[in-house]
Amino acid sequence: MLLVTVAAVFGVLLTLSLANDNVDVNNSGNDGGSVNQQVNINNQDRTANINQFNGWNSWDSICDYGNGYAATRLYKKKICVINKMKPNFPSLAQLKAISENKAPPTTELTTYTINQKPIVNIEEFGSHIEALCKGIPAYTAIELPQAEEGFALCHTNSMITILGISFCF
CATH number at residue 155: 3.30.390.150
Q: Which residues contact 144 (CB under 8 A, 6 or more apart)?
A: 111, 112, 113, 152, 153, 154, 168
Q: Is the pLDDT of residue 70 over 80?
A: yes
Mean pLDDT of 135-147: 84
Q: 48: domain range? A: 20-168
Q: What's the chain's average pLDDT?
A: 75
Q: Is the pTM of this model over 0.75?
A: no
Sheet with 110-114, strands from edge to edge, namely 20-28, 34-42, 47-53, 59-64, 69-74, 79-84, 138-143, 110-114, 165-168, 159-162
User: Is 140 within the bounds of a domain?
Assistant: yes
Determine, yes or no, domain membership for 15: no
